[in-house]
Amino acid sequence: MAAQEVDADSGSEFDDDMTFQFYRDRPEWSDIKPVPQDDGPNPVVRIAYSERFQDVFDYLRAVLKADERSDRALDLTKDAVELNAANYTVWHYRRVLLQSLKKDLREEMKYISEVISDHPKNYQVWHHRRAIVEWLQDPSDELDFTESILEKDSKNYHAWSHRQWVLQAFKVWDGELDYVHRLLQDDLRNNSAWNQRYFVISNTTGFGDESVVDREVKYAVEFIKKAPNNESSWSYLKGVLALRDISSFPALMQACQDMYDENIRSPFLLAFMVDIYEDQLESKTPPEDTLFKATQLCDVLIQVDAIRLKYWEYIKRSLTLRFGKQGEA
């Protein structure tokens, strides 16, 4: 099979950068023999790296091979990062150099902040930042930094993951619920913020205390009333009540019934009400018309939640078989 060439995005934007001096033309690098990339004798798809990309990484492979620990090697990693910030080997080598050369890690934090601002969804840059924070044992800038990234993209997984690591590793929980509340006020559909609220409570007070559960049920219901079709708040409510008998919260059932009476037909509302009725049916003395109400809601769900039509038909049959009187259909 003939080899094909594929353009490499990495580095292509720098092809017209006339200010860059190739390493092969730098006198201070004349002692290094570059190591070209080895794609094997018969590469099927040859990546068309830019000339600058080839130059930088050929010299990077050379200093890696020699295990060189020098300032020039550290500077070289910056050029490599600029061309491909997702390269694990480059970041690992940079960390080796930082420690070997006893570099100022505060300066490194400034540098990695700039890189993350340019590449906020790159796993390797966040991993590097975490390593530096661990070496410094100083999380003082991390919550503010992640907040600045989340202002641009409130659902950035890497920023949330880093933030959660900082909270757990350094026990800096104070104010986090307030922060999450501000995010939810800005966007009540922010699933990441709902997840963070659950994460914070799970790692602090927990959900074992009834007062915490009551507070969080009321909190979720307030947001549900504002947007009954928002799945995130319903999912949070279910998570809070995961280890509870939801039929033991009469005020919650009344809130759901009030929304239903206001002609709200959110499938999340109806499904939650079915869950409550099922819990009631599993108790020793359920209200007499509970099964009728549950199956009636299933009929409504069959109409409003057509994607899961077969599921709701199954739930209706299952409830009838489990709780219906002998001989009922």
How many whole angstroms separate alpha carbon 90 and alpha carbon 261? 61
The set of residues, in sequence order, having a beta carbon less than 8 Å from that of 207 and lying 6+ positions away, is: 201, 213, 216, 240, 243
Q: Kindly state the DSSP code that residue 230 receives in the 8-state scheme.
A: -
CB distance 281 to 294 below 8 Å: yes
Nearest residue to 113 (alpha-carbon basis) of 93, 88, 133, 83: 133
DSSP per position, 21-57:
PPGGG-GGGTT---------SS-SEEEE--HHHHHHH
Question: What is the 8-class DSSP label of residue 329?
Answer: -
CA distance 274 to 294: 5
Q: In whole angstroms, what is the distance from residue 70 CA to residue 82 CA?
A: 19
Q: Radius of gyration over alpha carbons of the chain, in Å? A: 29
Distance of CA 163 to the CA centre of its chain: 10
Tokens of 268: 């999340």
Q: How far apart are CA 160 and CA 166, in angstroms?
A: 10
> What does the block give as tokens for 109?
């934090």
Residue 93 CA to residue 118 CA, distance in Å, equals 21
Q: Which residues are catalytic?
A: 121
